[in-house]
Structure 1
């Protein structure tokens, strides 16, 4: 779901929106009116043909839209939150997005023609892949000792927060896996991804996870389930070629999973994904340099925001004295 937050002081409460997802997700939500008009959203008989009319998006299949846009019932609380959030976005003077111009150039360029849109990502602390600062309130464990004793591993993050079951794993699973894998209730994801033993990342394709994986140069094995994960998967697999699908079939078999893991992490078969994600990381690094696009965009945003605040302050000042 889109996260649009108002920041700064009460004097500029409606000035800035912050987007924590890629520009592709933002523009699809932002152009809900076009999706409705063309029968791809909020219709009983939703069209399944290719979508080719969103500004800055060459084509996208309906199955690659966010899960909330694939539902016919749009009366849920989540839908209302989305509608309200993007109604607010239309009134914002500036939008900040945690993405990079070079990764989504056409989409971002089209958005910049409609609004003051600034791609300022990736929003990570400097050197975060080398100096780990744990920020989760969950009790975190380290798996470094186990990773140090293994040469090549697939990192996986099952997004199970809570359950009434004491153990969600099949009977006998732990015994069968033995020391070939390590199961942990919670750990610091970046610390795992940055470990030299990791050669792939099985992920639901959350946006922060994708950016972290790029920064650590770890190709992705994609298994989206909800919200923006389907759209993020499209960027990873089809647009950037930095990962593959866990399965291309509705029925996921162990043979299919094994095949794709070996394809992603193989010395020869996985080389193209490792090269692509290394190039993607270089794009992120370049964007954050002094002459990089994200750094320039952030500087321009600060200048524009300062000018807007000063202009409003003069008006308030005049009204007070009158």
Structure 2
């Protein structure tokens, strides 16, 4: 009498795009699947990031040690070793990474073979890398796309091929790259997006005059992979924030599971994985003590994320705008920007009692601090969600990728943000800081931000929509 072979235990191999903004939410999701769903996890870093984490580990040996059923691995990425603490997520490194994505495939397949040989075969691969999703599907392992941008950013990126077909991109000449043209060009209505979406509200990949632009081509390949290679799409968002967008994409993508904000879902449920950190850069905890000496809502927090590299002039305009506003400020300038830019002695003297400049900080704790009054942000999705979850109004200065779309939604749909012009000037920064830190605009924006904070919390509580969606994800995808 024959017996049916026992179904292998669920084993998810996570391999996010190896940049801070992708690794952080992927680790949140992996921890949640392991703790709440009993899913075995192998979390894959690029060799470059593994080396960075060994150099910059800040939470002791447990930071990468894993736990029973939760381990780490790394595979080559073809890039040279990092030169220092901040040699990680610069635009130059990102372009090099995008160009080398195909090199991951043979190494990932070998890892999957090794896991099978060890008696713990992978049952699914979770990634936001097109070649990785396709490679998993090729070897018969379920591919799950965890898309780490906003839903609105993903929907905007899905329009790139249509914009090409309509002859809108590539742009005709350098003149069309200017804000005047981008601002005046309204795209055809797209279900799920505002009817008056302009070209400047779309993902920055459309801002090219090159018909063979390599980054645009890579984005197009990723968008084509989602409907074909992935069996499910997971998003770090929640229904009240982006429900219409998710509903619109459901017509063209595999089943979508909105399970965010992931930081809220994981913070009470990390269990033995609490010490596992996604940070690739050393944090300065001293800023929290500094904030503790400030009055409630008296500090402007400025952080431009892990990729944006400001020019010396942009740093000076932001710095003097913050200084001239008269408010206290906490400004994050990653190491490379601090070493290439010297703030004038008169600036240092004028702000010695009001300013704190550091290279990195524990952002979630900073945004939750009662001293923070407004968040000056580059509009990366992790930062946007953390600002929303903390009920903090935002000054929005997008740099690239989905950040322009995030800015549009924050300023006009969610009404928690005010835009700073792309050609930043200290006078504009000073005026906007004063507007948002006090007066009628501050009252309205803070009221909206407080409402979104409540909605985010409700979505992630037991029985809330994101909590329910996560249980569906477990049962319908990972334990199916």
Q: Which TM-score applies when normalising by structure 1?
A: 0.84
> 2: distance between equivalents of 1:232 and 1:109?
18
Deviations 1:226-269 (A, max 9, x none): 2111111011111100111124xx65432221111011111543
Instruction: Mark the CA change 1:238 to 1:12 in structure 2 (over 3 Å): closer, same or farther.
Output: farther
1:277 paired with 2:277, answer: no
Residue 136 of structure 1 is matched in structure 2 by 279
Contact 1:199 1:219 in 2 (8 A): yes
Structure 2 unpaired stretches of 5+: 1-16, 23-126, 310-333
Paired residues, what number? 304
Contact 1:25 1:228 in 2 (8 A): yes
Residue 293 of structure 1 is matched in structure 2 by 465
1:97 paired with 2:235, answer: yes
Contact 2:171 2:207 in 1 (8 A): no
1:193 paired with 2:332, answer: no
> 2: distance between equivalents of 1:234 and 1:261?
19
1:178 to 331, 337, 352: 352
1:33 to 136, 161, 170: 161
1:150 paired with 2:294, answer: yes
> 2: distance between equivalents of 1:78 and 1:198?
36
1:53 paired with 2:227, answer: no
Residue 126 of structure 1 is matched in structure 2 by 267
Instruction: Mark the CA change 1:58 to 1:257 in structure 2 (over 3 Å): closer, same or farther.
Output: closer
Contact 2:153 2:403 in 1 (8 A): no
Alignment of 1:150-299 (within 5 A): 150-151=294-295, 152-158=298-304, 159-160=308-309, 161=334, 163=336, 166-172=339-345, 173-247=347-421, 251-299=423-471
Instruction: Mark the CA change 1:13 to 1:42 in structure 2 (over 3 Å): closer, same or farther.
Output: farther
> 1: distance between equivalents of 2:239 and 2:369?
28
Instruction: Mark the CA change 1:180 to 1:261 in structure 2 (over 3 Å): closer, same or farther.
Output: same
Contact 1:214 1:281 in 2 (8 A): yes
Structure 1 unpaired stretches of 5+: 310-322
SS in 2 for 1:149: coil
1:86 paired with 2:216, answer: no
Q: Cα offset for 1:133?
A: 7.7
Residue 95 of structure 2 is matched in structure 1 by none
Contact 2:154 2:402 in 1 (8 A): no
Residue 313 of structure 1 is matched in structure 2 by none
Instruction: Mark the CA change 1:36 to 1:80 in structure 2 (over 3 Å): closer, same or farther.
Output: closer
RMSD of aligned residue pairs (Cα, Å): 2.9
Contact 1:132 1:191 in 2 (8 A): no
Contact 2:288 2:366 in 1 (8 A): yes
> 2: distance between equivalents of 1:63 and 1:147?
36
Greater CA drift, 29-38 or 177-186: 29-38
Residue 252 of structure 2 is matched in structure 1 by 114
Q: Cα offset for 1:22?
A: 1.1
> 2: distance between equivalents of 1:287 and 1:221?
25
SS in 1 for 2:466: helix
SS in 1 for 2:358: coil
Q: Which TM-score applies when normalising by structure 2?
A: 0.58
> 2: distance between equivalents of 1:276 and 1:192?
20
Greater CA drift, 214-223 or 115-124: 115-124
Deviations 1:154-193 (A, max 9, x none): 0011444454873513332322322210111221111211
